[in-house]
Every structure is written in C-alpha cells, then in structure tokens.
Structure 1
C-alpha cells in the first residue's frame, strides 16, 4: 500500500490511542479491580475496558484488518491477514496499578510482517509518539532522531531486571528500569536514553509500535544476531532485543558475554 494509506492508519491509531489514554486515566489511581492471568501477569478492569474500546473502534474502521491484542484470545485467523492491528491496552499494568507513571497505550498496524504505523501514548507524562513508514517519528511537531553516540562507556542504558547476556562497560549509566517495555524501547527515539534492552519472551504487542518508532527515528531494533523482528507469526514471542542508534547498536552487540 502507498504511504498515504500508512498515514491514514496512523491518524486512526492516534485518535483511538488518545481516547484509550483518556479512558485509562479515569481508572488510574482509583484502585481498579485486578486479577492474575497465566504467567503470573496482572490484568485489570481498565485493560479490558480499553481493549474493548480499541477493538470495537478500530475493527469498525478497518474490518479487513486482523487483530492481535494482549487482552484478547489469540486466533489463527490473524495469520491469513495481510494487515492487522497489534495492541497493548496498557503496557506496564503493574506500574499502572501501583500508581506509577511509566505505563503506556501501545498501538501498531503491521503489514506483511513489519509495522507501518504506530502510536504510543504515556498518558501521565503526556507524551505521544507517532510514526509511519518512511515518514519519520514525531512527538507533536518535533521530528525525533536517535543519539549518534558510539561510545558504550558513556551510554545511558535501560534494561530489564534479568541479565540479557551483554556486559556493559563500567562507566555506562544504567538508568532506572522503565516498566513499560514499549516506552523503554521508544525512549531511544527521543534520546531520553541511548540504548534499551528487552529480555527474551517479549510479545508482538509489547514491541511492534516501539519498533517503528525507533527505526523511523534512525535507530535499530534487533535480536542479538542483528535481525529485526518479524510480526504476525504463529508464536508472537521474541528473543532478547536491543534498541539503539546504529553506531552504539553495533558496539553493544560486540559486547555480548
């Protein structure tokens, strides 16, 4: 499809991401009902309400698109869809329930295995990342560009709790953990950090929007073999990942332990 179609999809995502963020804030700090699902992962009534809002609105606007969401039962029907929505109603539910601010609403359109439009909203921080294929990444009217840093010893790096197999130089700055994986990765795009790691097991809905946000800002998101993620496969899980500017990305991949 043409770039104009990607832009139209981005406008749609942004509209619904903002609506979803507003809905999320009505639950935030109000002790919403929550429970534990498989994998000991928390889910709340806010996650479900936002998922319903997004599903009904986005599918009504693009009925031919497939659907993959963290809070919906997966269906093999999506595998036959050339294009689909990939949605995380609240990425960082633990942080959301704890009253922390580093949670997000993450939306992407994936076409032929790669994201072509993405919107990521951090509602408490009032940050909205937008990206479409070939058109760049923006926060408002400001076009983003990743850091050109190539010195790992000076890098500000965000990582998961678990060690991912890369030994950082002693003088690299490990920034406080960012609860939303999508926000952790996307923070490379606006130079809030220089690099971010994701541990193994991240799902399509965790990373699809952030992937496009980083790459359209000139960065790279890949596994430790240097391959970019592919989406809408039977298993939506991914290995450990690294996001950074091109020079630092190469340096950090050579630091694997």
Structure 2
C-alpha cells in the first residue's frame, strides 16, 4: 500500500503561499482563456510535443508572480529550462502552464493550468484550473480538497464501470473484457484534469500512461489524496517529486477501495 503522507510542517508562510497560488493560477487561467481560440504561433518541442505562444505567456506570468514573492523556492516548469538548483530546495513550485496543449490548440475545452508547491518531494499545495468550464480545484495537505470552494470526495466502492474510468484504452482494457454495450469514458485532453475528476467523484478511476512528468501530476496528486482517494504506480507506490528524473511510469488514481482492487488486479496480472 502507499506510504503515509508526511504531515504539514509548521510553516509561517503556508497561508500566504496558498493565497498566492490561488490568485496566480486564476490570473494565469484568465490569460490562457483570453488567448484561447485565437491565432497563435505554434511549434514542436522534442519529437512530438506541441507548444504555443500561449504556453510561454502563461508560464511567464506564473513565474513572475510566484518567484517575486518566493525567490528562495525552487522552480520546475514544463516550459522553462531546468534549473537544477531546485534539487537543493525543500520547497519547489512545479508548473504546467497549459496542461493539454493539444486540446487547447484544437479549441477543445479539456485543458487546464496546473501548479503545485512541493515540500521535500511531496505536494503541499495544489491547484488545477479549467478556465473554459470555470472549475477551480484546490487542496492543502491535511486540509481537504475543494472545487470552486465546495468540498469534494472520491467515489466509494470497488466495482468497475468502464464508462466512469478514463485513460489510455489499452491500459483500461487490461482490467477485464468490457461488457457488451458499455463504452469507455471519453478522452480528457489534460492529464491533470483527468486525475482531479477522480477527486471530484465524476470518475471512479483514471490511468496515466508511462510518459507523464512531475508537472502533469503533482497538483492533481494532492487533490486526489485530499479528496479521499489514492494516486500511485500500478504497484501501489506513492510518487515523489522534484528529483533528478521527473518522469513517471504507469499510474492509477481511484477511491481507496477501488484503488486497492485495481492494484491487486495488476499485481496478479502484471504488464510485461
């Protein structure tokens, strides 16, 4: 089972950082929404990853707001060159300015702004904002998770309904044969948004393929856990952030009982 999450340290700036994070992510989301469905310059990063001038503009805004107030914190963002001094910091901001850039550029609504504050490898604060649908998810470690200021909780039980499970089709289908007439849940372009839907209770479970990074996951990880769910590797191991390697393997998020059921299934039926 997952390791116990560390307790919140006695930090005098926690309330300040929480307010700073919420205000910054809302402002960043508003900027992304203003640029949404406009004509944007785009290019490809690496082999296939799309980037637009909106990603960079939102990243610049978030960095300016957060680092001006917390210059001693580390910084890790999908759209910034990696500053390895973060490895020596106990507190690090982890940022995805637009999670789901493909959906964003395709003028679909399922994208988000995702930012977490990580303390010694574990999320302390997390915000995931879906501006197109005006859904603002926020969590503070040991203080619960909210959607637009209303408390949320993961669904209970351990049954499998494929219409309420999102993720890569080959991975979802490994749970068992999908019953006749039952459809897979539609794809959600933002991984962070896919995962927080588990915390919200609108999805029973969500999977992530083995190519996710810290910035895709850290904020959603905290929101899922604070909503009473679990998010781990398929072996049930908790994720640690802000390491040398920010890549992660296959992951699952679900409520406690269903998560236990799914992890046990993959222990008995491992992916080769």
Please give the TM-score of this superposition, normalised by the length of structure 2: 0.90
Alignment length (residue pairs): 257
Matched, 1:81 2:89: yes
Distance 1:87 1:161 in 2: 27
2:163–2:185 CA contact under 8 A, matched in 1: no
Q: After TM superposition, where is structure 1 displaced by more than 4 Å over at least 4 residues in a row?
A: none
2:96–2:216 CA contact under 8 A, matched in 1: yes
2:39 matched residue in structure 1: 31
1:201–1:237 CA contact under 8 A, matched in 2: yes
**Structure-2 change in CA distance of 1:22 and 1:236 (3 Å):** same
1:178-197 per-residue CA deviation (whole Å, 9 max, x = no partner) reads 01000000100111110000
1:195 to 201, 205, 210: 205
Q: Quote the offset at 1:149 in angstroms.
A: 2.1
Distance 1:117 1:102 in 2: 22
C-alpha RMSD over aligned residues: 1.7
Matched, 1:70 2:81: no
1:90 aligns to what SS in structure 2? strand
Q: Quote the offset at 1:174 in angstroms.
A: 2.1
Q: Give unmatched runs, 5+ long, in structure 2.
A: 1-8
**Structure-2 change in CA distance of 1:101 and 1:175 (3 Å):** same
1:49 matched residue in structure 2: 57
1:96-152 per-residue CA deviation (whole Å, 9 max, x = no partner) reads 001000000001000000000011100001000010011000012311110012112
2:106 matched residue in structure 1: 98
Distance 1:97 1:152 in 2: 33
Q: Give unmatched runs, 5+ long, in structure 1.
A: none
Distance 1:94 1:27 in 2: 14
**Structure-2 change in CA distance of 1:123 and 1:153 (3 Å):** closer
2:264 matched residue in structure 1: 254
1:134 to 139, 142, 147: 142
1:229 matched residue in structure 2: 239
2:171–2:207 CA contact under 8 A, matched in 1: no
1:149–1:155 CA contact under 8 A, matched in 2: no
1:152 aligns to what SS in structure 2? coil
Q: Quote the offset at 1:169 in angstroms.
A: 5.0
1:130–1:137 CA contact under 8 A, matched in 2: yes
1:205 matched residue in structure 2: 215
Distance 2:125 2:147 in 1: 14
Distance 1:4 1:244 in 2: 33
Deviates more, 1:213-222 or 1:150-159: 150-159
**Structure-2 change in CA distance of 1:156 and 1:106 (3 Å):** same
1:164–1:240 CA contact under 8 A, matched in 2: no
Distance 1:76 1:92 in 2: 25
1:153–1:169 CA contact under 8 A, matched in 2: no
1:166–1:253 CA contact under 8 A, matched in 2: no
1:7–1:132 CA contact under 8 A, matched in 2: no
1:166–1:255 CA contact under 8 A, matched in 2: no
**Structure-2 change in CA distance of 1:69 and 1:162 (3 Å):** farther
